[in-house]
């Protein structure tokens, strides 16, 4: 893509994620909250569940080209609720965690990163990690979104 800033992709690690089944309904997120609420027994876990549901709703509303996923370790607070997700057809998959590093002088980081995201979206399936230069790269064996 002409005008794209020079950048480097730094592989950081592989993580085990749980992925939302292919769906477009925001009602799913509301129903999921009701189902999983029984597994949270204190205010801290309830706040974590609300954060999870907000991320899910935001993802669905964004009309994504990649699946919604979260690292399993971030959902440990659900305990047996993770099994509930599996029963609802959520699947586990390894996800590559990659950092995008801009090289040289950066004039407008946000604009330059958007151009890079656009370029990368033509090459492979990924999601951005909020408030960072980290992306989650998904296996080519997953269903195309």
Q: What is the pLDDT along the chain (145 residues), one digit of tens a residue?
A: 455 678 999 999 999 999 987 765 656 776 787 888 888 889 999 999 999 989 988 888 887 788 889 999 999 999 999 998 988 889 899 999 999 999 988 788 889 999 999 999 999 999 999 889 999 999 987 755 4
| 3 state DSSP class of 66 | coil
- Among residues 58, 54, 59, 60, the alpha carbon closest in space to that of 24 is found at 60
What pLDDT does residue 1 have?
46
Whole-structure pTM value: 0.80
Mean pLDDT of the chain: 87
- What lies within 8 Å, CB to CB, of 36 at 6+ separation is 49, 78, 81, 84, 85
β partners of residue 71: 17
């Amino acid at each position: 893509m002409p005008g794209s800033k020079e950048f480097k992709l730094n592989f950081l690690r592989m993580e085990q994620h749980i992925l939302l089944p292919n769906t477009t309904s925001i009602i799913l997120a509301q129903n999921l909250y009701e189902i999983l609420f029984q597994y949270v027994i204190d205010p801290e876990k309830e706040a974590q569940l609300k954060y999870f549901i907000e991320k899910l709703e935001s993802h669905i509303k964004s009309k994504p080209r990649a699946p919604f996923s979260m690292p399993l370790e971030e959902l440990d607070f659900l305990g047996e609720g993770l099994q509930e997700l599996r029963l609802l057809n959520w699947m586990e998959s390894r996800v590559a965690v990659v950092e995008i590093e801009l090289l040289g002088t950066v004039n407008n980081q946000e604009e330059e990163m958007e151009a890079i995201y656009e370029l990368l979206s033509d090459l492979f399936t990924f999601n951005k990690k909020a408030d960072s230069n980290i992306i989650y790269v998904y296996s080519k064996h997953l269903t195309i979104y």
